[in-house]
């Protein structure tokens, strides 16, 4: 984006650097505007109709455009509309030959900043131009500040997570080195203890990751770009990813996906994260020899994915809290399960960011079923 | 040649350097280290390493990116393979993957910290063989 005013140099620089484009089919009008404005120190260009004007806007990226509303071919109104895609911050001043209030008001509604009824004096032109450029300066400045603020917030999240992760990573790397035998033999009780310590560090690293994801969802950053997503392949990839965990826990994974499954509008990576959290939950809170089944069906305008396990289940009194941050069911059976307490809340937020919803049904001793409702892509 | 290769570790965390050094020492590599952007650039020119293990966030958020960019846009130094190692998988809106972000980040390979020693050694061997 052009910077018309590096603030320290003030108004002088603004006059010197600002570029103005005059679009009018009357040669006399173009010439007189050109004379006045270039004499005042503005870089001034002219165009004789809408088409060449639009081309010039693309080429020279003006700060301000003076445009006649009524020209043969493309008029001022149409030009206003078309310029919005090039740079919405260009300031437009419309010149109205038939000084009717209606056409001026209409132009202002379409984002013109001001209007100048014909005939006008050089001083009137100067005043309108100066005000318009002042406006341009403020718009650019506020856009720049907004961007800077956004960037600072993003960097802050990245920095905090890096500062939290770095020491943990170094500790974990030492453990890996010791367990790999790169710092002498480790065996027996020592090895066992280092392995336990390493597991705890892993859990803490996961917690930091989850916390980071959580704050990204809050700032609307995690979800990423929306596009048509094939839910079946998201689910297959999720299951593939979790195979090692399932084998480790001796839990079987089953899939029942309908072939004709429609696509949803969303972000594949985020959805994969949501389903990964749900399925790994089903694996972790399962019993040896248990199963986690993922199935899908269509229901009206929605796709329904179900993740059900044959695990320990959730009691009625705990059920309302399972989507709360850091809530974890603490019983004899869950003691061996490590988790951050953020897996389900993250899944819920991702699903809701997709205009979907998530429901849970559970019976202690039998298992839990999560039903995820997602709107079909149009 | 690969067992005599000279490897430069660039990382601001001296503990991390120490543990990586222990892994590399097992393979008789010659190991150097640098702890910030400036000393890294000097060391690279001085010792001409066969491979660089590069951290990303050091004093500045993007030191690793800057070093990588400078090396890969230098006619002589660009042939040195870079294995990026970072504690952070992605910066907001910016994934550190040479496959998806080669345009911005031209590291030859990427691995997340902490790294399994066997995985690290495998990747290093592969890069040294070219």
Residue B92 has its nearest CB partner, among A176, A177, A216, at A216
Percent of chain A whose predicted confidence (pLDDT) is above 70: 92
* CB contacts, 8 Å: B88 with chain A: 158, 161-162, 165
pLDDT band at B96 (very low <50, low <70, confident <90, very high): low
Size of interface A-B (CB pairs under 8 A): 62
* CB contacts, 8 Å: B113 with chain A: 165, 169, 173
CA angle in degrees (0–180, nearest 5) for A90-A94-A98? 170
pLDDT band at A74 (very low <50, low <70, confident <90, very high): confident
- Answer yes or no: do B117 and A177 touch at CB < 8 A: yes
- Answer yes or no: do A162 and B87 touch at CB < 8 A: yes
pLDDT score, position A353: 87
pLDDT band at A302 (very low <50, low <70, confident <90, very high): confident
Distance from CA of A153 to the nearest CA of B (A): 10
pLDDT tens-place string over residues A213-247 = 777 776 665 566 788 889 988 999 999 989 999 99
pLDDT band at A66 (very low <50, low <70, confident <90, very high): very high
- Answer yes or no: do A173 and B87 touch at CB < 8 A: no
Q: Are A212 and A161 in contact (CB under 8 A)?
A: yes
Distance from CA of B43 to the nearest CA of A (A): 23
- Answer yes or no: do A174 and B15 touch at CB < 8 A: yes
- Answer yes or no: do B113 and A182 touch at CB < 8 A: no
Distance from CA of B91 to the nearest CA of A (A): 6
Residue A169 has its nearest CB partner, among B91, B114, B116, at B114
pLDDT(B119) > 50: yes
Q: How many CA atoms lie within 13 A of A64 on its CB side?
A: 31
Average pLDDT over chain B reads: 86
Least confident of A79-83, A151-155, A312-316: A151-155
Least confident of A62-66, A101-105, A233-237, A318-322: A101-105
pLDDT score, position B89: 59
pTM of the model: 0.58
Q: Are A129 and A122 in contact (CB under 8 A)?
A: no
Tell how many helices (H) and how many strands (E) occur in chain B.
5, 7
pLDDT band at A1 (very low <50, low <70, confident <90, very high): very low
Q: Which residues does B contribute to its contact with A (CB < 8 Å)?
A: 13, 15-16, 19-20, 22-23, 25-26, 57, 61, 87-88, 91-93, 113-118
Q: Which of A306, A318, A316 is nearest to A282 (CA)?
A: A306
Residue B26 has its nearest CB partner, among A176, A182, A216, at A182
pLDDT(A3) > 70: no
pLDDT score, position B94: 46
pLDDT(A110) > 50: yes
Residue A161: closest C-alpha in chain B: B88
d(CA A170, CA A157): 20
Q: Which of A198, A212, A201 is nearest to A162 (CA)?
A: A212
Phi-psi region of A250 (alpha: psi -120 to 50; beta: other; left: phi over 0): left
- Answer yes or no: do B88 and A162 touch at CB < 8 A: yes
pLDDT score, position A5: 39
pLDDT score, position A144: 87
* Interface probe, candidates B9, B14, B53, B88, chain A, greatest A C-beta count within 10 A: B88
Cβ neighbours around A300 below 10 Å, total: 9
Helix ranges (DSSP H) in A268-339 = 268-284
Rounded mean pLDDT, A141-166: 81
Q: Are A250 and A284 in contact (CB under 8 A)?
A: no
pLDDT score, position A11: 40
B72 or A260, which is more confident? B72
d(CA A80, CA A104): 13
pLDDT(A4) > 70: no
Rounded mean pLDDT, A267-283: 91
pLDDT score, position A161: 78
Least confident of A209-213, A242-246, B9-13, B123-127: A209-213
Q: Which of A131, A113, A144 is nearest to A3 (CA)?
A: A144
* CB contacts, 8 Å: B118 with chain A: 180
Distance from CA of A195 to the nearest CA of B (A): 14
* Interface probe, candidates A147, A151, A156, A173, chain B, greatest B C-beta count within 10 A: A173
pLDDT(B53) > 60: yes
d(CA A154, CA A215): 10
pLDDT score, position A219: 60
Rounded mean pLDDT, A104-115: 83
Average pLDDT over chain A reads: 85
- Answer yes or no: do B87 and A169 touch at CB < 8 A: yes
pLDDT band at B2 (very low <50, low <70, confident <90, very high): very low
pLDDT score, position B103: 58
Q: Please list, in sequence order, all residues whose beta carbon lies within 8 angstroms of the beta carbon of residue A176, skipping any fewer than 6 positions away.
A: A198, B19, B114, B115, B116, B117
pLDDT tens-place string over residues A13-41 = 445 579 999 999 999 999 999 999 999 99
* Interface probe, candidates A147, A153, A166, chain B, greatest B C-beta count within 10 A: A166
pLDDT band at B1 (very low <50, low <70, confident <90, very high): very low
- Answer yes or no: do A177 and B23 touch at CB < 8 A: yes
A65 or A98, which is more confident? A65
* Residue A108, φ and ψ in degrees, nearest 5: -65, -35
* CB contacts, 8 Å: A162 with chain B: 57, 87-88
Helix ranges (DSSP H) in chain A = 10-17, 27-39, 50-60, 76-83, 101-109, 122-179, 188-218, 231-249, 268-284, 343-353
pLDDT score, position A103: 78
């Amino acid at each position: 984006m052009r910077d018309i005013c590096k603030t320290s140099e003030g108004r002088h620089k603004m006059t010197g650097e600002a570029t103005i484009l005059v679009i009018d089919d009357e040669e006399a009008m173009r010439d007189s505007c050109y004379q006045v404005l270039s004499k005042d120190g503005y870089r001034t260009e002219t165009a004789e109709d809408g088409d060449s004007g639009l081309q010039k806007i693309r080429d020279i990226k003006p700060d301000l455009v003076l445009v006649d509303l009524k020209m043969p071919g493309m008029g001022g109104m149409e030009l206003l509309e078309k310029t919005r895609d090039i740079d919405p911050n260009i300031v437009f001043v419309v010149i109205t030959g038939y000084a009717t209030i209606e056409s001026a008001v209409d132009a202002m509604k379409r984002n013109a900043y001001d209007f100048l009824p014909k005939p006008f004096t050089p001083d009137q032109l100067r005043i309108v131009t100066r005000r318009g450029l002042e406006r341009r300066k403020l718009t650019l400045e506020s856009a720049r500040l907004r961007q800077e603020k956004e960037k600072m917030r993003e960097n802050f999240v990245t920095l905090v997570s890096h500062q939290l992760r770095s020491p943990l990573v170094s500790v974990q790397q030492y453990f890996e080195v010791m367990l790999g035998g790169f710092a002498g033999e480790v065996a027996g009780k020592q090895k066992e203890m280092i392995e336990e310590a390493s597991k705890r560090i892993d859990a803490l690293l996961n917690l930091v990751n989850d916390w980071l994801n959580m704050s990204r969802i809050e700032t609307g950053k995690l979800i990423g770009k929306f596009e048509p997503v094939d839910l079946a392949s998201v689910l297959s990839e999720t299951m593939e990813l979790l195979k090692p965990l399932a084998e480790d826990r001796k839990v079987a994974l089953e899939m029942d996906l309908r072939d004709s499954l429609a696509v949803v509008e969303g972000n594949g990576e985020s959805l994969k994260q949501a389903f990964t959290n749900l399925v790994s939950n089903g694996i972790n809170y399962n019993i040896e020899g248990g199963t986690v089944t993922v199935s899908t069906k269509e229901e009206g305008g929605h796709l329904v994915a179900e993740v059900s396990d044959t695990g320990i289940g959730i009691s009625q009194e705990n059920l309302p809290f399972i989507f709360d941050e850091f809530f974890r069911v603490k019983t004899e059976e869950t003691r061996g399960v490590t988790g951050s307490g953020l897996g389900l809340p993250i899944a819920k937020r991702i699903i809701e960011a997709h205009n979907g919803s998530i429901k849970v049904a559970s019976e202690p001793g039998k298992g839990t079923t999560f039903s995820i409702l997602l709107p079909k892509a149009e | 040649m690969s067992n005599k290769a000279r490897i430069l570790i660039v990382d601001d965390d001296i503990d991390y350097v120490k543990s990586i050094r222990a892994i590399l020492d097992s393979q008789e590599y010659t190991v150097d280290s640098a702890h910030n952007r400036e000393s890294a650039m000097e060391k690279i020119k001085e010792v001409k390493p066969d491979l660089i293990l590069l951290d990303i966030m050091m004093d500045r958020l993007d030191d690793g990116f800057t070093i990588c960019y400078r090396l890969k846009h230098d006619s002589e130094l660009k042939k040195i393979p870079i294995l990026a190692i970072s504690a952070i998988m992605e910066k907001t809106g910016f994934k550190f993957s040479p496959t998806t972000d080669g345009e911005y980040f031209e590291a030859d390979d990427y691995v997340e910290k902490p790294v399994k020693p066997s995985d690290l050694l495998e990747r290093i061997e592969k890069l040294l063989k070219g």
